[in-house]
């Protein structure tokens, strides 16, 4: 039987992500975002809303699992990317994230992203 195991939602103020990027630079980017996420965001005219949406997505995913970001699921244990062609955002679970997905009997994590000049938000659904 398939179904929803968990949902998560997060809202981020883009300015906070901009300040972290300016203050901590590569240290912040490398701690939170995969190389693929950085490459995607950095090619945008204004990368900040795209970084913020991915930050929100990772928080939403951690809420869908009920773990938060910590020992069971880290920032780099998931990657948010867009599928070629459709542009639909997709979550790739890596490392401990892939192990957690399997342990929970999940098949995928679905995500939806949105952003404006001021805010970014994401919703995640853990599917069995």
Provide the domain count of the chain.
1
Domain that holds residue 31: 4-127
Supply the CATH number for residue 106's domain.
3.90.470.20
Cβ atoms < 10 Å from Cβ of 38:
17
Q: Edge to edge, what strands does the sheet with 108-115 contain?
A: 4-13, 119-127, 108-115
Q: Which of 50, 71, 96, 115 is flagged as catalytic? A: 115
Q: Is 115 a catalytic residue?
A: yes
* pLDDT tens readout for residues 50-91: 999 999 999 999 999 999 999 999 999 999 998 777 889 999
Our answer to whether residue 82 is catalytic in this structure is no
pTM of structure: 0.95
Burial 51-67 (b: 16+ CB within 10 A, else e): bbbbbbbbbbbbbbbeb
Query: Residue 83 has what pLDDT?
Result: 73
Among 50, 63, 82, 96, the one annotated catalytic: 63
Mean pLDDT score across all residues of the chain: 95
């Amino acid at each position: 039987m398939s179904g929803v195991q968990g949902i998560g939602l997060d809202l981020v103020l883009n300015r906070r992500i901009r300040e972290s990027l300016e203050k901590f630079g590569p240290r912040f980017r490398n701690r939170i975002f995969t190389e693929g996420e950085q490459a995607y965001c950095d090619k945008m005219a204004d990368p900040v809303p795209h970084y913020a949406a991915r930050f929100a997505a990772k928080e939403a995913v951690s809420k869908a699992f009920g773990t938060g970001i910590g020992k069971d699921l880290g920032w780099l244990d998931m990657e948010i990317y867009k599928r070629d062609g459709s542009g639909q955002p997709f979550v790739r679970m890596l490392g401990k994230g892939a192990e957690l997905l399997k342990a929970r009997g999940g098949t995928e994590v679905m995500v939806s992203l949105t952003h404006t000049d001021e805010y970014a938000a994401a919703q995640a659904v853990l599917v069995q």
